[in-house]
Amino acid sequence: MDFEKLKQGGIDVDDALVRFSGNRELLEKYLVKFLDDPVYKSIVLSMD
């Protein structure tokens, strides 16, 4: 995962890494899970 692109997109990767104890692999796992969450999809649809 390109964390620099996430930063450019406005995601505070540094803060997220602090919350995940610096574990990049774990952060990536949860970011991917978030995108697959049906609630995320409904949030995106409601913003259109």
pLDDT of residue 30: 93
Q: Is the pLDDT of residue 29 over 90?
A: yes
**Which amino acid makes up residue 45?**
L
Q: What is the mean pLDDT of the chain?
A: 93
Higher pLDDT, 26 or 40: 26
Instruction: Determine the average pLDDT of the residues in 1-29.
Output: 96
Q: Quick one: 15 exposed, middle or buried, by C-beta within 10 A (0-12, 13-18, 19+)?
A: exposed
| Residue 44 scores a pLDDT above 90 | no
Domain-wise residue ranges, the chain: 3-47
Q: Are 33 and 40 in contact (CB under 8 A)?
A: no
Q: Residue 9 has what pLDDT?
A: 93
The amino acid occupying position 36 is D
